[in-house]
Amino acid sequence: MSEENKHRATAAAILPLVGGAANVTSVAHCMTRLRLGLRDRSLVQEEGLKALPAVMGVVEDDTYQIVLGPGTVNRVTPEFEALVEEGRAGAPEEPAAPAAPAGGSDPVTAEELAAQGAALRAERKARNATPFKLFLRRIANIFVPLIPALIGCGIIAGLNGLLVNLGWLPGVTPALAAIASGFMALIAVFVGYNTAKEFGGTPILGGAVASIIVYAKVADVEAFGQHLSPGQGGVLGALAAACLGVYVEKRCRRWVPESVDVLVTPTVTVLVSGLATLFGLMFLAGEVSAWIGDAADWLLAHGGAGAGFLLGGLFLPLVMLGLHQALIPIHTTLIEGSGFTVLLPILAMAGAGQVGAALAIYLRLPRNTSIRTTIKSALWPGFLGVGEPLIYGVSLPLGRPFITACAGGAFGGAFVGLFNQLGTDVGSTAIGPSGWALFPLLDGNHGLARTIAVYAAGLLVGYVAGFVATYWFGFTRTMLEELNAAPDEPAPAAPAPVAAEERVAEKV
């Protein structure tokens, strides 16, 4: 089967399992996930989705997210969109009847863990639907579409740096530098465009206002007693400027007569927002950006291993709470200011802890073929930084292994943080990838070889710490008895009345 047919077949297999074309209200994708707006989530056949070879897992949030992995999702999404359009144009589809639950006497299987994971995701979604977290999600929506360009330009910048250090292809390296730097030079414009789009304004007006920040002649403008510099305020200034532009535009739409709206509204929006940007927002955002860079440097220079331990250990809980999205503009600001973010390699250690924990679970449950099969299918994506299948399909529903996996990430983060404290910065030139996929994007202040070595050693520490913590502390005796029950036999019977009390105590 050709690649095109394979991706179309994947899309065709997914569509009826999410309720058909009539149940799909929106289609989008990020780095790894197909994100669907659905009218009725009760029509989703989640077990059928997870059984598809191309599906690594599912995540329920404001959209229904199907994890397909990097690269694959970019090819499946347009095929899925085409099928949805064809379905809407034709006769309405009857949603397929939900699959009957699988029988069997095995008390704990991968399917049961998946059901527990779905319940946990639903609970997390309810907790995360606060105004503050919804606002953070909208901020994330502004930056997530920029990630592919950040990755592509970051890899080209790394390649160019390697060629310059080796003295190879001197006639090509200036061209590579231009290719790698062009997007970052204009990133404020794209942020402004996406901001206006996200908050209900005219996207091109948001881009127009944000473009003022990168215009070379802003150096002739004086604000707060000093001349501005092109790019001052960066993405934070663009974000603020575009938000102001949306507010001004909406006010104009409300009061300006329709007959002159096409002339007055764009002019007033750009003029008012532009003046505010030049004589206030650029300076203020520049100060905030500088403070963020200084704070990150201070944190790792003085906190070192302790800061890395906390960041690596708490990152996945932050993800569960929806607070990790606040880090996206911070990463982007650091990349814009120093060329790389020192926070991402530390946070990536959280995924290493999950991989180590999964290996320990695999060895501790030799008779649970269902969970071991799930781990085997999800492990390699985990190595590449796609952790959702392991988190939602294995460690989180089990409870204690999720905590020990976070401990593994904490030790990996402490290792990388220690080297930052000792003067070896380990950074990433883009955001999005994690695990092994982050290697092409690594950069630092002491050469690429040392940076790669420290990051690789940090991953190894995360794997080992997650494995050891989970192997020895991830299970109680009762959990092992239940989870190791053979598929064709019931779980071991517990001795009489004390069993229920012991089980409750174990789960607490």
Supply the residues annotated as catalytic.
Answer: 30
Distance CA 170, CA 258 (A): 58
Q: Please report where in the chains the tokens 């955002």 appear, as a residue.
A: 285
Strand pairing category for 24-29 and 426-428 = unpaired
Q: Which two tokens stand for residue 234?
A: 């960066």
Q: Angle 234-255/327-338 helices, nearest 10 degrees?
A: 120
Helices (H), ranges, 202-326: 203-214, 234-255, 258-276, 282-298, 305-321
Query: b vs e for 365-382, b when ≥16 Cβ sit within 10 Å of the residue's Cβ?
Result: beebebbbebbebbbebb
Q: Please report where in the chains the tokens 């200011």 appear, as a residue.
A: 337
Q: What is the DSSP string of 43-110?
A: G--HHHHHHSTT--EEEESSSEEEE--TTHHHHHHHHHHHHHHHHHHSSPPPPPPPPPPP--S-SS-H
Contact 430, 154 (CB under 8 A): yes
Residue 392: Cβ within 10 Å count: 25
Closest alpha carbon to 212 in 269, 261, 289: 269
Cα 149 to Cα 34, 124, 359: the distances in Å are 19, 31, 34
Q: Please report where in the chains the tokens 């092994």 appear, as a residue.
A: 436
Cα 452 to Cα 205, 313, 431: the distances in Å are 42, 21, 17
What is the C-alpha R_g of the chain? 25
